[in-house]
């Protein structure tokens, strides 16, 4: 018990030094807990890169926000809780990505079953490639906005990003499509009707 209490007090003193801007104290905490926190995160995540990113983000936050961070219990408990929160964030993001990837797949399958000329089918396939090639979060936001018909604010709240970030992702997706594909009238009208771009919000933000 004495050893445990002593360890808690040592961590507390290190953390107080970190709050004062002591880089050596921060390094001591980092080296003390980095490996064990990675092992803890690895019980939830199977990709080493994600595990290391999660733990590093926790320490980056601890250092950058050191003056405002409040630790009520032990430093160890705080770090474990922070890692668990970040892990749950990653798992939630994965679930959202899987859900909307499936939705996007079903959309393409339905779209491709419609009767088109060879040229139009080629264009639709090109659009699919452009959308599939978007960065993961951009593709998810685009899918949620266009296929789910969700408002920017809803998407921002679900993904825990700003409304401006949502707008930027949607505009990027349309810009990529516009820059890479020359659409025939039929494909343009049908595709963008499916993606619901004729709502008031899209007309005020997107010009194709």
Q: pLDDT at position 198, please?
A: 30
* pTM of the full structure: 0.50
pLDDT tens digits, one per residue of 78-121: 999 899 888 887 777 766 666 666 655 555 555 555 555 666 66
Q: Does an H or E element contain 191, and which?
A: helix 185-194
Class of domain 2-89: mainly alpha
Is residue 178 scored above 70 in pLDDT?
Answer: yes
DSSP secondary structure, 159-190, as one string: HT--HHHHHHHHHHHHHHHHHH----HHHHHH
From residue 17, give the alpha-carbon distance in Å to each of 55, 68, 101: 21, 14, 46
Class of domain 114-205: mainly alpha
Give the separation between CA 56 and CA 26, rounded to whole angstroms. Answer: 13
Domain ranges within the chain, ordered by starting residue: 2-89, 114-205
Q: What is the mean pLDDT of residues 21-37?
A: 92
pLDDT tens digits, one per residue of 136-177: 888 888 878 876 778 888 888 888 889 899 989 888 888 887
Is 114-205 in the same CATH topology as 2-89?
no
């Amino acid at each position: 018990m004495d050893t445990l209490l002593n360890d808690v007090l040592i961590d507390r003193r290190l953390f107080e030094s970190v709050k004062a801007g002591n880089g050596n104290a921060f390094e001591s905490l980092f080296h003390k807990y980095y490996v064990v926190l990675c092992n803890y995160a690895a019980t939830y995540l199977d990709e080493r890169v994600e595990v290391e990113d999660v733990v590093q983000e926790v320490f980056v936050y601890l250092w950058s926000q050191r003056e405002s961070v409040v630790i009520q219990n032990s430093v160890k408990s705080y770090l474990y809780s922070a890692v668990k929160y970040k892990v749950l964030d990653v798992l939630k993001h994965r679930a959202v990505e899987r859900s909307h990837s499936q939705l996007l797949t079903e959309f393409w399958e339905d779209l491709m079953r419609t009767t088109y000329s060879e040229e139009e089918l080629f264009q639709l396939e090109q659009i699919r490639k452009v959308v599939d090639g978007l960065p993961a979060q951009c593709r998810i936001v685009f899918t949620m906005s266009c296929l789910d018909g969700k408002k920017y604010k809803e998407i921002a709240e679900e993904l825990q990003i700003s409304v401006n970030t949502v707008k930027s992702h949607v505009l990027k997706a349309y810009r990529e499509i516009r820059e890479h594909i020359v659409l025939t009238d039929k494909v343009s009208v049908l595709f963008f009707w499916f993606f619901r771009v004729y709502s008031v919000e899209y007309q005020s933000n997107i010009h194709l």
